[in-house]
Chains A and B, each alone.
Chain A
Amino acid sequence: MKPPLHIATPWPRSPEAPAVLSIERLSKRFETNGAGSVSVLRDISFTARRGEMICILGRSGCGKSTLLNILAGFIAPSSGTVRLNGQPVSRPGPDRCVVFQDDALFPWLTVRENIAFGLKKRPMDRARKKSEVERFLSLVGLTDFGDYFPHEISGGMKQRVSIARVLILQPEVLLMDEPFAALDAQTREEMQNLLLTLWEKFKHTILFVTHDVGEAVLMADRILLFEKDPGGIREDIKIDLPRPREKDERRFFACYRKTMSIINRL
C-alpha cells in the first residue's frame, strides 16, 4: 500500500526470491507416558524465501520450540517434510544453525575458541581460519573479549558469541528461539540492532521465535502467528514497514496496533 516507501529499504526481499526452506504438512505428536499422545503441531505448511526474516509469534506452549527443533533436525516430525533448497533434511547440520535461548556455549572454551569450534574440521588453512575468527569476533563487537570464558561475560555478550559461532559457518538458515528473551530491555534493543545489521550484511534467511510483539514488528518481514491446541499457523502477517524501523515512529506504532488487534481477535 506504500510502494514508494520501499525505496528506503536497503535490502528489499522481492516476492520472487527463491524458496530456501519449505515446510510441507508438518505434524508432531509426542507420546506421553502411559496415556496416548499429545498433538503439538498439526499440518503446518509455509515457505521461507531467501533472505526473509520471519518471526514466529505465539502463546507459550503452542509448539514454537518444537517446530524449530524439527527444522534444526534435533527431533523428527510425526509426518510431513522439511526441505532445504529442495532437499529433504532429517538431521542437524551447519546449513541450519540454531541460536538457543539459554546459554549453550562450551564453558571450557574461551570466547575465541567457541567461535572457532565449528571451523575445526573445515578444509581451510590455519591462517584463514584465524582471520575468520577475528573477523566474526569484531563483527559482534567482542574483539577485546576473545580470551574470556563464558562464565566471565554477560548474558548479552554470550548471545553475541552464540551468533558469531554460527554465522562463521555461513548457514543458509538461522533458527533463533527467543534468543534475547532473557536480556534486559536496553541490551535486547542493542542485540536487535546488531542482528539487523548482520542480517543486512549476510542476507541470511532467519526464523525468529519471540513472545514480544514489538520485537516481531521491529524485525520481521512476515509474522507467523501460531495458535494453540493443536499448534498451527493462524495468520501470516506481512510487515511492509520500511527499514531501518524506529520504534517511536507513528507508522511503527500503527503497525504494532494492527498486529495486536489481530492477536487479540484470536
Chain B
Amino acid sequence: MTETASPKRLNRGRRSQAGWLNRLLPWAIPGAFILIWFVISETEMVPHYLLPHPKDILATAATYIFGKAGNGAYAGRFLEDLMASSFRVMLGFSLAVVVGIPLGVLSGRLALVSRMLNTTINALRAVPGISWLPLAMVWFGIGLKTTVFLVALAAFFPIFLNAEAGARQVSPILLQAGAMMGVRRLRGTFAILLPAAMPSIITGLRLGMGISWAYLVLGELTGVPNGLGAVIMDARMLGRIDIIVVGIILIALIGRFCDLGLNQLLRLSFKSARRLQ
C-alpha cells in the first residue's frame, strides 16, 4: 500500500513557510525569562547569593557537565547522575506502564473489574505521593528501591486512569463493526480497542512520564549518593545555590526531552499513534 499524495503531506509543505515562527515560538517564554533574569542580575536588584548571575550558572553547568572529575566538588558528575536518575525513572515508569495499561483497559471495558478496582484506586489516589516516602524508606531503605517505588506509584495513576477512560470511550459501533467482519475478542482488543484508545493512552503515558521525574527527585532527596535529586539536596546543604539552579534547569530539559522521545517512540511503534494526533 503506497502512500502517495495524501492531503496530510500537502499540509506539511505549506506549514514549512511559517516554519521559522513555529520554530521560534517555543523559545519565546524561556528567552524572555532569561532576559529578565539577566537584567535583574546585572542591576543587582536581587543579591547574587539568592539568585546567581546567568553567567555564573552557565560556568557552573559547564563544570558540572564537562569538567574533569576531581576539579572541584561537582566537576564532571553529570553523566553519572544522569545515568543513575534515568535508570530509576525508566524502571519505575516501566513498572507503572506494565501494570497500569492492562489494568486500565480491563477496567474500562469490564464493569466487574472497574467495580472491583475503583474504590481502592480512587482512595489510594487521594494520598499525596509524598506521604508514601517515610513508609517507603522503612520498607525499602534509602536508594534505588524507594525511588523506583515512588516513581512507579506516582506514574501509575495517570497511566491507569487515562487508559481506562480511553478504553471506556471507544465507540461500541467500532467493536461491532469488527465483530461482523469476523474479528474475535482477543484480536479485536489489539486491532480495534487499543488503537481507538491510543490518544488517551498516550496522554496518560506523557503525564506519567512527567510525574516520574518529579517523584524521582523526591526519592533521591532522601540521601542517595548519586542522581540529579541527590545533587540538588547535596548542594542545598553546602549552600551552592548555583548547583541547585543548574539541577532544576537540567531536569526541566531532560523532562522535555523524555516527553519528545516518548512521543516519537510511540509514533514509530504504532500506526494509530502516528495518525490519531
A residues touching B (Cβ–Cβ < 8 Å)?
72-74, 91-94, 96-98, 100, 102, 104-110, 112-113, 116-118, 120-121, 130, 146-149, 152, 165-166, 169
B residues touching A (Cβ–Cβ < 8 Å)?
1-8, 171, 173-174, 176-177, 179-183, 187, 191-192, 195-196, 198, 271-272, 275-276
Nearest chain A CB to B11 CB, angstrom units = 10
User: A113 and B1: CB pair below 8 A?
Assistant: yes
**Which residue among B1, B5, B180 has the maximum number of chain A CB atoms within 10 Å of its CB?**
B180
Supply 16 further A-B pairs (C-beta < 8 A) apart from A94-B180, A108-B195: A72-B180, A73-B179, A74-B179, A92-B179, A93-B182, A94-B182, A96-B180, A104-B173, A107-B196, A121-B183, A130-B1, A146-B1, A147-B2, A149-B6, A152-B6, A169-B181
Overall SS of chain B's interface: helix
Nearest chain A CB to B42 CB, angstrom units = 52
Nearest chain B CB to A217 CB, angstrom units = 28
Task: For the complex, give the distance between the alpha carbons of A148 and B8 in Å.
Answer: 9
Task: For the complex, give the distance between the alpha carbons of A98 and B275 in Å.
Answer: 26
Chain B residues within 8 Å of A116, by CB = 1
User: A108 and B275: CB pair below 8 A?
Assistant: yes
User: A104 and B198: CB pair below 8 A?
Assistant: no
User: B182 and A118: CB pair below 8 A?
Assistant: yes
Contact A149/B176 with A94-B182, A165-B181 known, Cβ cut-off 8 Å: no
User: B176 and A104: CB pair below 8 A?
Assistant: yes
Chain B residues within 8 Å of A120, by CB = 191
A108 nearest CB neighbor, chain B only: B272
User: B179 and A108: CB pair below 8 A?
Assistant: no
Task: For the complex, give the distance between the alpha carbons of A100 and B171 in Å.
Answer: 13
Residue of A109, A112, A130, A166 near B181 (CB, 8 A) is A166
Chain B residues within 8 Å of A93, by CB = 180, 182
User: A108 and B276: CB pair below 8 A?
Assistant: yes
User: B7 and A100: CB pair below 8 A?
Assistant: no
Chain B residues within 8 Å of A110, by CB = 1, 3, 6
User: A92 and B271: CB pair below 8 A?
Assistant: no
User: A106 and B196: CB pair below 8 A?
Assistant: yes
Q: 6 A-B Cβ contacts within 8 A?
A: A72-B176, A94-B182, A110-B1, A116-B1, A117-B191, A147-B2
Residue of B3, B176, B183 near A74 (CB, 8 A) is B176
Chain B residues within 8 Å of A97, by CB = 180-181
Task: For the complex, give the distance between the alpha carbons of A145 and B19 in Å.
Answer: 29
**Which residue among B174, B179, B181, B272 has the maximum number of chain A CB atoms within 10 Å of its CB?**
B181
Chain A residues within 8 Å of B4, by CB = 147
Q: Which 6 A-B pairs have the closest CB atoms?
A: A118-B181, A108-B272, A92-B179, A94-B182, A104-B177, A147-B6
User: A121 and B182: CB pair below 8 A?
Assistant: yes
Chain A residues within 8 Å of B192, by CB = 106
